[in-house]
Amino acid sequence: MSADNPYIPFTAEIMKVTDETPDIKTFEINITDPDWNHKPGQFLELSLLGAGECPISISSAPIQLPTLDLSIKRAGIVTEAVHQLYPGEVVGVRGPYGRPFPMEEWRSKNLLIIGGGIGLAPLRPIIQQALCQRELYGDLTILYGARSPADLVFKEELKEWEGAPGTDVYLTVDKGGGEWDGHVGFVPAYLEELGPSPENTVAVTCGPPIMIRFVLKALEKMNFTPEQIITTLEMKMQCGVGLCGRCGLGDKYICIDGPVFSYAEILKLSPDLSALK
Amino acid sequence: MKIIPENKLADLINKWRSDARHVIGPKNVHGDIVFETLEKDEQPCLDFLNTALPPKEFLFPMRETILNFVPKEDEWTPFTNLNEGNIVLFGIRACDVTGINLFLDQLFLSDPPDPYYGARRKSAAIVVLACEEPDEYCFCPSCNSGPALATGFDLQLIHIGDEYLVQIGSPAGERLLNGLQLETPSMDQVGLKNYVIDECRKKCRKVELEGVEEIIKDLWEDEIWKEVSNYCIRCGGCNFVCPTCYCFDMNDRVVSSGHSQRMRTWDSCLLRGFTRMAGGVISRDDKFTRLRQRFYHKLLFWKEKWGGPHACTGCGRCSRVCPGFIDFGEVVEKIKSRAGHADT
């Protein structure tokens, strides 16, 4: 990132492209800037010549540097253009931006990770980091759901996580079919069914807004306090540096004051988030 | 303080131009008073209430190229082109200077500073022309932003009879007068200046903003926003004419094969697409939620984030341009009338 111009991206080469689902691909890109250092929960601004720029959460832990992963769902102009790219091609990036997950505060606690759809992407760095520094954290529970079996991301890695020490993985799909013999149902309902204990636990969730909303309610029902619940609001951002005004939520900007917020903070935030309350 | 006769003002402007400064001042263009470059020998229009738009576009253009991407071998290199010529913004009203000093500077010069705004701001000298007459929408005294300023200008001109009293607000202002033989005003002339400003102040409408931030806090779910937004045609005019609005959009434009530009354009929170995200979700889809955002931002959110005054300078433009006759002062009165009656 240029010191005097926050808008200038630098180039990064695509090393590998993985098809995750029919509309999600993971792009492994090479970061040449030796000073680059991101933390789980941060995002970057991804530029594509002529198509534009958009915020994308970094879906790999810092230990993977000098490469990082961007898991991108085809949803708009820039993401559509990115999906056309192959290894060896170049994209622009600037960042990392945003307030990361406070993982230092989670030491020795149990981690309950609840993801839906592409929402697992910003949560993946937490899982990778916790598995890498396994002794620092308590039990790791991952609850992940998608619309259908084909829409589950990181399929290979999910299997690895299942076998990791002190780790439980629960998968569910809204609609089964084919060879799927796992759980069928919505994430919040499965969460209530599993009934994890709030004891010494931090719950971290990301997914479609409707899922987040019901997950928050379910967690409250299970006596998780608002301070124990963390989410990440990956929405509306554009410039990434607190200037363009688009991601304003009351007196806060998602891009610089978030995207990571505790539920306790959300309750105090702008009433604009009433959909989540 | 100095005195400059009306008929010597042209000398001053010509001098700035001969110093290779780009002079921007109010001009009458087919009946509209707008800020434009004063070309060689051209003189400003000085008989006006206020300009149609504040001069913020000369620091933060409506549309500007912020990055150019040009292919270099098999990579591409972004480069920027900062406009750093010296400009004189001549004849700005106090309300609009307040918009620059307290709002745009606060946003664009804080960390991280915006290099485009910063470069233009650094090279811009500000010459205020104090108001002699308000119209029915002006309420700058209620916002402490006029009719004249105490500080925050390089030069300030106040019209007294056939002359202008010139206040020097900075060393840069001093330099703008270099080489000119100007008299010092008499006590009578200073008294006349105070009289002119006081008379204008007295004629201004009063819109009491103090404490409105406490009342509006409880009105998120109030019917007031739906009522007011019934008259909104979501044109975004209120945003575009506002000296404190700054929201922008960024888009890429392909110029030719391999050459594209990243553009920045003014945007408006009243427009439906303002919160449109990839995939088409619009978080403020109902019109009233967008109008509510505008008033909350002006009256509460800005103040919460940055401290200082409400994000309004009392220029009255939003009320003047609204096709639905939504009047800022009337909405403030409506808000205050709801004190203690909140639905929530």
Q: Is A79 in Cβ contact with B252 (below 8 Å)?
A: no
pLDDT at B128 over 50: yes
Burial environment of residue B287 by CB neighbours within 10 A (0 to 12, 13 to 18, 19 or more): middle
Give the CATH fold of the A103-232 domain.
Rossmann fold (3.40.50)
Range with the poorest average pLDDT among A53-62, A67-76, B13-22, B92-101: B13-22
Inter-chain CB proximity B301 and A251 less than 8 Å: yes
Distance from CA of A261 to the nearest CA of B (A): 17
pLDDT-derived band of residue A178, with 50, 70 and 90 as boundaries? confident
Chain A nearest CA to B314, separation (Å): 22
The pLDDT value recorded for residue A1 is 43
Q: Over pLDDT 70: what percentage of chain B?
A: 97
Q: CA B271 to CA A224: how far, in whole Å?
A: 39
Q: Best residue in B103, B108, B252 to probe A by mutation, most A CBs within 10 Å? A: B252
Domain residue ranges of chain B, discontinuous segments joined by +: 2-62+81-203, 212-245+269-337
pLDDT in tens, B83-100: 667 999 999 999 999 999
Q: pLDDT band for B69, please (50, 70, 90 cuts).
A: confident
Distance from CA of B99 to the nearest CA of A (A): 16
Backbone phi, then psi, for A146, in 5-degree steps? -145, 175
How far apart (Å, rounded) are the C-alpha atoms in residues A24 and A148? 13
Task: Report the mean per-residue pLDDT for chain B.
Answer: 93
Which amino acid is residue A114, in one-letter code?
Answer: I
What does the pLDDT look like over A72-131, one tens digit per residue? 999 999 999 999 999 999 999 999 999 999 999 999 999 999 999 999 999 999 999 999
- Residues in B touching A53 (Cβ below 8 Å): 250, 252, 262
- Tell me which of A7, A91, A244 to substitute to probe the interface with B (most B C-beta atoms closer than 10 Å): A7
Interface contact flag, B277 A235, Cβ < 8 Å? yes
From chain A, the residues in CB contact with B260 under 8 A are: 49-50
Q: Residue ranges of the domains in chain A?
A: 10-97, 103-232
Classify domain A10-97 at the CATH topology level.
Elongation Factor Tu (Ef-tu); domain 3 (2.40.30)
Measured between beta carbons, the chain A residues lying within 8 angstroms of B248 are 239, 243-245
3-state SS assignment for residue A205: strand
B79 band by pLDDT with thresholds 50, 70 and 90 = confident
Query: Can you give the pTM of this predicted structure?
Result: 0.93
What is residue B20's predicted lDDT score, i.e. its pLDDT? 82
The rounded radius of gyration (Å) of the Cα atoms in chain B is: 22
B227-258 confidence digits (pLDDT tens)? 999 999 999 999 999 999 999 999 999 888 87
Question: What was the ipTM of the complex prediction?
Answer: 0.90
The whole-number pLDDT of residue B116 equals 93
A-B contacts at Cβ under 8 angstroms: 106
Residue B185 DSSP one-character state: P
Residue B41 has a pLDDT of 87
